[in-house]
Structure 1
Amino acid sequence: MATMRAARLNVRTNTLEVKEVPRPVPGRGQVLVRVKAAGVCLSDVHLIDGTLRPLYLEGDEVTLGHEVAGVVEELGPEVADTEVGERVALQAGQIDHHGRVLTRGVDYDGGWAEYALADEETLVPLPDDLPFEQAAIIPDAVSTPWAAVTTTGDVGPAEAVAVWGVGGLGAHAVKLLRLVGAAPIIAADPDPQARQRALDFGADAALDSTAPDFLTRIGELTDGHGLAVAFDFAGVPVVREQALQVLGEHGRLVLVGLTDKPLEVKDGTRFSYLKQQILGHYGSEPEHVIQLVQLVRAGRLDFSTSISGTFPLEEAPAAVEQLEKRVGSPVRLVLQP
């Protein structure tokens, strides 16, 4: 029986171990992908520490990794439009025969391994000049903020926006807001490295969200009109309180960062009078990943500065620790099996 190396999480004991496992065999409509790159996400950290739990995982173990790119190695029966050797990224999830939305690397085995199984319909062809480590992070690290900006937030040209939390997703939100013509783009983060990154990624201003004059500065930057859209990528109650104070008329607060803490609207009369909205956001749809690859192909987007470091598969625990402790304020760390 053929084997491979994989980083397996035991969700019962919350232990991550790189070990030898059987190499999967593609079934009907599936392909086997040789993994070339797989992103390390805060969701992976939360799975390991137990604050995030799989909904539909069968058994106690799963191979992590929902941001995956590689080369098609083997075709299963009834695969119609894919060839061996094709460069692909994998959508971060799929719908099963029960109609449930399953997440790769959470509810079923992901890409922190030498090989990964994928349904043919979840493959996204890649241009030859897009490096695998950049392609791997498009599902989720880029597609989640892209969906938040274009669909949930529905940001239009010259709309004033602010992004709280300029980590892996928030940094890309800044870049994508620049692409759709938002102005001004204000980044908010207490970390000076994150603020500098925001400026590098296209923000017009980068503010310390803990500064005493923070809200006043947003008022000045928006000429007193307030924000059209505020994006919370931090998932922190104080961020949401700040955002609600500086939303303008018809302003939208888009909640991307996850938290189980309650949200309070302290001035409900003002909120209603200004016809403001609070919008929840999670993940992205398959078309968002396809759009982003097309934009890269057209030369509109470049993610070369998004890769903060690469690790061999055996060092997956070290990559997780670096992200968890924010050593070097990384955007995205990538495993290369």
Structure 2
Amino acid sequence: MLAGRLDLTTGTFGMQEIPIPEPGPGEVRLKVEAAGICLSDVHLIDGTLPVKARRDFTQVTLGHEVAGVIDRLGPGVTPWQVGQRVLLHAGQVCGKCQPCLVRSGECLRVQTRGVDYDGGWAEYALARQDTVAAVPEDLPIEQAAILPDAVSTPYAALLETAALRPAESVGLWGIGGLGAHAVQIARLLGAAPILAFDLLPEARARALSFGADAAFDPREEDLRDKVRRATDGRGLDVAVDLAGVPAARAQAQALLGPRGRLVLVGVTPEALSVDNSLFFCTLMQQVRGHYGSTMGHLLQLVKLTRHRRLELSRSISALLPLADAPLGVERLAKKEGHPIRLILKP
């Protein structure tokens, strides 16, 4: 089968013909029908997010946003059937750390699909049966594919990590694949006002069309005054860095109000600092790291999307053949057409 493979030794990415995998005990095999291209995939390829080769494998198939149809069951699989439309969670618990062994649900070494094991930029993909979720017939498969990260990550970040409450103000830095959905989710959760920040005018226009109350260029000299006016002089209750940019994090922290929470969603290896620890402490502000989501979040989003509490049709920017994965990566890296999500179709 054809697959998009990253060589963890050389850092090169390309399309390869590899054997079709066979599901082991407790696994299902998926005939992939849609797989999203995420900015983190771009960063894996360009080396911004380095992944080292391991003794058990030196190459990995990318892709953590995956949906399709089950075509084969491994031994011991009971809740699933061949022919079911499903999506795959973007990761899985390790099953070996202490929380996993006592089933506390707080795995210390969560594994990511397309990083720690083969993902879905392929004609077929394997998945552990506890990482599979059913896709209703009335949910387009391309929209289902982006739920596991583009939608579920900002959803979990705002709902759980930020603990965003109705009528709280929220600032969102980076209105790309995650940020566009964060705007919708913040509105769904009752945030007010919702302020978007992005260097690109196209992204700011997108934020407004998706429900933001205001959108700003982070370079505006009077930005602090504008945010103060928008929040009745208080500052932001929640600020979310969705881009993984140090300058955005510093600006977001500076615009926090009393007891404000800065949530870091965008991934970067860059150092994190607090500019003024005196104000940070006296105002009782917080910095909270965030990564991914749970299967529970994913199931909630399937239901919310089915009942049209979220509108994802505008999120599918283009469909590309699987063989054009390198082209899709290049388009996203260059922000060509300012896509929210490019979808690979095997």
Which TM-score band (shorter chain)?
over 0.9
1:226 aligned to 2:226?
no
1:210 aligned to 2:208?
no
1:45-93 per-residue CA deviation (whole Å, 9 max, x = no partner) reads 1111222233685321111111000001011111101111101000111
Q: Counterpart of 1:24?
A: 21
Separation in 2 of the partners of 1:65 and 1:148? Answer: 21
Q: Is 2:34–2:343's contact at 8 Å kept on the other side of the alignment?
A: yes
Give, in angstroms, the shift of residue 237 of structure 1.
2.0
1:259 aligned to 2:268?
yes
Give, in angstroms, the shift of residue 245 of structure 1.
2.0
Query: Which structure 2 residues correspond to residues 121-140 of structure 1 after superposition, within 5 A?
Result: 121-140=130-149
1:145 aligned to 2:172?
no
1:121-155 per-residue CA deviation (whole Å, 9 max, x = no partner) reads 11110110111111111001111100110000000
Q: Counterpart of 1:91?
A: 89
Q: Is 1:165–1:234's contact at 8 Å kept on the other side of the alignment?
A: yes
1:310 aligned to 2:307?
no
- RMSD (Å) for aligned C-alpha atoms: 1.3
**Matched AA of 1:266:** D
Query: Which structure 2 residues correspond to residues 166-177 of structure 1 after superposition, within 5 A?
Result: 166-177=175-186
1:156 aligned to 2:165?
yes
The verdict on how the C-alpha distance between 1:159 and 1:56 changes in structure 2, with shifts beyond 3 A counting, is farther
TM-score by length of 2: 0.93
**Matched AA of 2:166:** P
**Matched AA of 1:144:** T
Q: Counterpart of 1:74?
A: 72
1:325 to 305, 321, 334: 334
Q: Is 2:8–2:59's contact at 8 Å kept on the other side of the alignment?
A: yes
1:249 aligned to 2:262?
no
Separation in 2 of the partners of 1:45 and 1:159? Answer: 33
**Matched AA of 1:210:** R
Q: Is 2:9–2:52's contact at 8 Å kept on the other side of the alignment?
A: no
Separation in 1 of the partners of 2:53 and 2:146? Answer: 24
Give, in angstroms, the shift of residue 203 of structure 1.
0.3
1:252-271 per-residue CA deviation (whole Å, 9 max, x = no partner) reads 11111122222332222221
Q: Which runs of 5+ in 2 are unaligned?
A: 98-108
Which range moves more in the overlay, 271-280 or 179-188? 271-280
The verdict on how the C-alpha distance between 1:223 and 1:250 changes in structure 2, with shifts beyond 3 A counting, is same
Which range moves more in the overlay, 238-247 or 79-88? 238-247
Separation in 1 of the partners of 2:5 and 2:266? Answer: 26
Q: Counterpart of 2:209?
A: 200
Q: Counterpart of 1:43?
A: 40
Q: Which runs of 4+ in 1 moved over 4 A?
A: none
Q: Is 2:8–2:53's contact at 8 Å kept on the other side of the alignment?
A: no
SS at the partner of 2:196? strand
1:167-193 per-residue CA deviation (whole Å, 9 max, x = no partner) reads 111111111000000000000011000
The verdict on how the C-alpha distance between 1:281 and 1:23 changes in structure 2, with shifts beyond 3 A counting, is same
Separation in 2 of the partners of 1:328 and 1:148? Answer: 27
- Name the % identity: 56
Q: Counterpart of 2:106?
A: none
1:235-254 per-residue CA deviation (whole Å, 9 max, x = no partner) reads 22221222222211111111
